[in-house]
Structure 1
Amino acid sequence: MQYNVQAPLNVAASTLEELEHRVRDDLACLCYPPANWVETTDGAEKVHDVVIIGGGMCGLVAGFSLLAGGIRNIRIFDRSPEGFEGPWLTYARMETLRSPKQLTGPAYGIASLTFRSWYVAQFGNDAWAEMDKIPRPMWMDYLRWYRKVLSLPVENNIEVKSILPEGPLMRLTLAGSGAKEATILARKIVMATGRDGMGHPNIPDFVAGLDRKFWAHSSDAIDFQALRSKRVVVVGVGASAVDNAAEALEAGAKEVRHLIRRKEMPQINKLMGIGSFGFTAAFSKLDDARRWQIMNYSLRTQTPAPRGSTLRVSRHDNAYFHFNAGVKSVEQSGDELIITTQDGSRLVTDFLILGTGFTVDPLARKELEAYADKILLWRDCYTPPAGEENKELGNHPYLSADFSFREKEAGTAPWLANIYSFNAGAAASLGKLSGDIPGISEGAAILAREIAARLYQENFEQHWQALLDYSTPELQGDEWKASPLPDAEQIQSQQAEEV
């Protein structure tokens, strides 16, 4: 099915309107949203209970989960224009999602909020049965609808520049055309910042010093039309590498060559084979050795690009897959690049695309730079057995079970417990609960429950006083009549009668 994100859906509005009525009815049955129960902590300045950084899929479901838990004093910021949050219409270039269409994603256990309900309301059950995978732009339209139907308070064109402790609170510095304040105060901060939300694009050293016009990372805004009739090399063969290769080929590139350091194509998505409610529930409770064992194995075997994406490349006669061809060096020669591979082979090309993914590196996050070195990392806590070393995995933050950061040295940065890494950086500690479609609702439920517990504990004295002060009677006093106890003679007389 072809799907044009720029065109409005050409369907009867009444079907979607009916679904939206169903959503509102479902929410009413679930008493959503409940009254706010969190104690106000405002002083001279308003204090927000939770600020969520990121209004993409993770930020939306995180916001919904907090509102559903009666935590209503929240704000959600996203630096992108409305409707373009997340990667779906920017650097994501696959035709369809990898995830099976039936996964419930951010629906949070509510059937009417699933992608399936949204799709069937517009295209019908027959179209649903025929569809293989979800078109990527259509997923973005679904998320736009999800935000609208739930009235989630996302504020766009706002970037959080820094997060600094201020007593028991956190002060956020804001920038961007959507920012109404220069700074705000918050008790808790959720970094729902997606795939690159706890690091940055992985840029190999071999491009250092090269003119930027000759290369790009797969997450960059690439002018593919400018690659028409050009020779293109793509480093890597993961999903992003393959998708960018396909874009270049479809734009009319003269040739596209994948340079792949592996000896053979990855073919099995290992984590997909073991996904279950048990895996999701148990992962954070496993010891460090077992969590490392699972994540290290997954990273080393590598998740393959989807079959459809790979066929999208290989159907072109001018596409080439070169294995055992890791890049050793790249030199600029006039308007060409000369690439030398690990085996000494040389290749000349016009443009280089790095399909090298993202790296997790809390030290690189500008928002946290004043104290990022105080964040506890996996490399600080666990030394793997010989042969199981993994620098990338060691750079992941070693999170608490509620997604919050931990201090490398006790007492040096206690405010880190107020910042929650609800993004790809949580994978080593909690599994795939805060970035991928399969476990996102379960992750949001854990996040909301744990934040609620912390907020309640921090204001226990106020909640205790509220218990003491509560005086609304259930009974009015006219529901009963007091009766005197019988005296001894009455009891003896009654016993005699019974005999």
Structure 2
Amino acid sequence: MTSFTPFFDAAGLVALEQRLQHDLLLLNWYAQPWINPRRYADASVTDVLIIGAGQAGLAAHMALAQQGIRSVLLDRAPLDYEGPWATTARMETLRSPKELTGPALGVPALTFRAWFEAQWGLQAWEALDKIPRLQWMDYLRWYRRVTQADVRNEHTVTAIRPRSDGLVEVDVQACGQTTVWFARRVVLATGRDGLGGPQIPAFMQGVERSRWAHSSDVLDYEALQGQRVGVIGMGSSAMDSAGTALECGAASVDLIARRTEMPRINKSKGSGLPGLTHGHHHLPDAWKWRIRHYINAQQVPPPHGSTLRVSRHPNAYFHFGCAVQHVSNVGNGLHVTTSQGVFAFDFLVLATGFAIDWAQKPEFSAFAPHVRTWGMRYQPPAGDEDQELTDSPDLGPVFEFREATPGHCPGLERIHCFCYPAALSHGTVSGDIPAISDGARRLATGLASLFYREDVEYYFANLQAYADPELHGDEWSPAHTASRVLPGTAYTQSCASVLNTSP
């Protein structure tokens, strides 16, 4: 990991913040609020309630602010620990190139680079390879502060109920009590596992829970010192978990993969074109499926640095072509039976990814059975079956859920899926760093359109009632026209009257 400590300039950060606020002023970023205010049960209704205050939620808030739409963000995490970066993520650096502007929404002073250079300078930026993970978290903390996001931390959403009266009812637990919020629109900015959670293979049934963890779990890796650790998987999270375990003193780490060789090419990186970013949503169904399935099937290799982080340890072992068949408790350890033999471990880490699994999100149970999925929309060609894509929600143009059976869940379209499972419908614009600003703009402009269309009578009445005069009547004097035209050419009102009534 690149070291950078030539200097730290707090004054430089203050100057950047002043520049940012001036830039936002020049852009008239914080537009005047215009949404027709609503009240229900003697309480105000939130225009847009965003669930999640990670990078997607923050970008959505900032894009909405530019449209004059107020939002409130709810996050169950304590202040400054939103998202995975300072909790469950274990990579040393981000996988994205440092030049990507992420949630900056086209504002130069809001980019990571501007934030970095203001404190450590251009020379340190040029020496930086990739962005350290915890430093990205520090940047997001700064982003939240300077964009004045209204985040309510330690607010856990326990239920979301769409209604037929134009509102969404949300139960929120905070400070030991549950309150009910009402919003006109709810945005789920809930991350990689936004509609589910860890994917746990069937072979883990009956295995003692204290002997294994998913790579996304909160885990004290120091407790693995001196232990034989197995890691199921060979992707990015597998390398991150293996590297962390080795650095914490694990006796050995065996990485086990079903695939016969390590993928070498990151196909998703090759798809990062503006045309696809903006055009994926408009592609025919067959092409959407074909592109996403191809990337899934090719599999994304772990980053170069993450792989070296593991392989530099002599007690790290890479095993390919080892399909796991069974895992059993044996004494104080585990036996992992594979197609190539049995491994003995003290602890097992599952780097098996995430699944769209509504059962893992009980707070969505009121509407989950009514969501239309791609499995209901499209039948792929034989050989292109893909469970992740089949389970993906079939979203509308503003990331809104659609009903599986029209009329069975009124108001479902008021919940917007701005998290990873939107990828098949919209492309990767709702979670990953490269196109998060594009997705946030699409969401914000779409919501502005929906708000206006829904209350068009209100806005037309305001248009009719608008009476702010541009002129007061004393800016000119009427001329004596007859004195300004050629003699004998005056076209009098009486002549006009005769001509208009002639047969």
User: Which category describes the TM-score, using the shorter chain as reference length?
Assistant: over 0.9
Answer yes or no: is 1:480 the counterpart of 2:476: yes
Q: CA–CA distance in 1 between the matches of 2:295 and 2:435?
A: 17
In structure 1, the residue matched to 2:218 is 221
In structure 1, the residue matched to 2:191 is 194
Q: TM-score, normalised by structure 2?
A: 0.94
Answer yes or no: is 1:269 the counterpart of 2:258: no
Aligned length: 488
What letter is aligned with 2:199?
N
Tell me by how many angstroms 1:356 deviates: 0.5
Q: What SS does the corresponding residue of 2:162 show, helix, strand or coil?
A: strand
What letter is aligned with 1:433?
V
In structure 1, the residue matched to 2:115 is 118
Tell me by how many angstroms 1:232 deviates: 0.5
Among 400, 408, 427, the alignment partner of 1:412 is 408
What 5-or-longer segments of structure 1 have no aligned partner? 495-499
Among 416, 421, 444, the alignment partner of 1:425 is 421
Closer/same/farther in 2, CA of residues 493 and 348 from structure 1, 3 Å limit:
closer
Q: CA–CA distance in 2 between the matches of 1:350 and 1:17?
A: 50
Q: CA–CA distance in 2 between the matches of 1:182 and 1:422?
A: 24
Tell me by how many angstroms 1:95 deviates: 0.2
Q: CA–CA distance in 2 between the matches of 1:164 and 1:197?
A: 17
After superposition, give the CA deviation of every residue in 1:62-84 in whole Å (9 maximum; x if it has no partner): 01111111012x21100001110
What letter is aligned with 1:30?
L
Q: CA–CA distance in 2 between the matches of 1:178 and 1:66?
A: 31
Whether the 8 Å CA contact 1:270–1:298 is kept in 2: the answer is yes
> Within 5 Å, which residues of 2 pair with 1:129-278?
129-166=126-163, 167-177=165-175, 182-278=179-275
Q: What SS does the corresponding residue of 1:23 show, helix, strand or coil?
A: helix
Among 321, 336, 359, the alignment partner of 2:355 is 359
In structure 1, the residue matched to 2:84 is 87
Closer/same/farther in 2, CA of residues 491 and 365 from structure 1, 3 Å limit:
farther
Tell me by how many angstroms 1:402 deviates: 1.0
Tell me by how many angstroms 1:212 deviates: 1.0
Tell me by how many angstroms 1:490 deviates: 4.7
What letter is aligned with 2:370?
K
In structure 2, the residue matched to 1:497 is none
After superposition, give the CA deviation of every residue in 1:194-215 in whole Å (9 maximum; x if it has no partner): 1111111111111111111110
Whether the 8 Å CA contact 2:322–2:339 is kept in 1: the answer is yes
Q: TM-score, normalised by structure 1?
A: 0.95
Tell me by how many angstroms 1:492 deviates: 3.2
State the identity as a percent: 45
Answer yes or no: is 1:385 the counterpart of 2:381: yes
In structure 2, the residue matched to 1:100 is 97
After superposition, give the CA deviation of every residue in 1:257-278 in whole Å (9 maximum; x if it has no partner): 0110000001111021121111
Q: What SS does the corresponding residue of 1:383 show, helix, strand or coil?
A: coil
In structure 1, the residue matched to 2:499 is none
What letter is aligned with 1:257?
D
Tell me by how many angstroms 1:482 deviates: 1.1
Among 26, 29, 32, the alignment partner of 2:23 is 26
After superposition, give the CA deviation of every residue in 1:99-120 in whole Å (9 maximum; x if it has no partner): 0000000000000000000000
Answer yes or no: is 1:399 the counterpart of 2:384: no
Q: CA–CA distance in 1 between the matches of 2:440 and 2:485?
A: 68
Tell me by how many angstroms 1:9 deviates: 12
What letter is aligned with 2:301?
P
Q: CA–CA distance in 1 between the matches of 2:210 and 2:116?
A: 41
In structure 2, the residue matched to 1:368 is 364
In structure 1, the residue matched to 2:51 is 53
What letter is aligned with 1:57?
Q
Q: CA–CA distance in 2 between the matches of 1:439 and 1:463?
A: 33
Whether the 8 Å CA contact 1:328–1:340 is kept in 2: the answer is yes
Q: CA–CA distance in 1 between the matches of 2:81 and 2:484?
A: 84
Q: What SS does the corresponding residue of 2:411 show, helix, strand or coil?
A: helix
Whether the 8 Å CA contact 1:206–1:328 is kept in 2: the answer is yes
Q: CA–CA distance in 2 between the matches of 1:197 and 1:3?
A: 34
What letter is aligned with 2:175?
S
Whether the 8 Å CA contact 1:106–1:441 is kept in 2: the answer is yes
RMSD, aligned α-carbons: 1.9
Q: CA–CA distance in 2 between the matches of 1:100 and 1:107?
A: 15
What letter is aligned with 1:216?
A
What letter is aligned with 1:65?
A
Whether the 8 Å CA contact 2:2–2:127 is kept in 1: the answer is no
Tell me by how many angstroms 1:306 deviates: 0.5
Tell me by how many angstroms 1:11 deviates: 2.0
Q: What SS does the corresponding residue of 2:422 show, helix, strand or coil?
A: helix
After superposition, give the CA deviation of every residue in 1:308-365 in whole Å (9 maximum; x if it has no partner): 000000000010110000210011011011111134x111111000001111234542
Q: CA–CA distance in 1 between the matches of 2:450 and 2:77?
A: 30
What letter is aligned with 1:86?
G
Q: CA–CA distance in 1 between the matches of 2:309 and 2:54?
A: 27
Whether the 8 Å CA contact 1:78–1:158 is kept in 2: the answer is yes
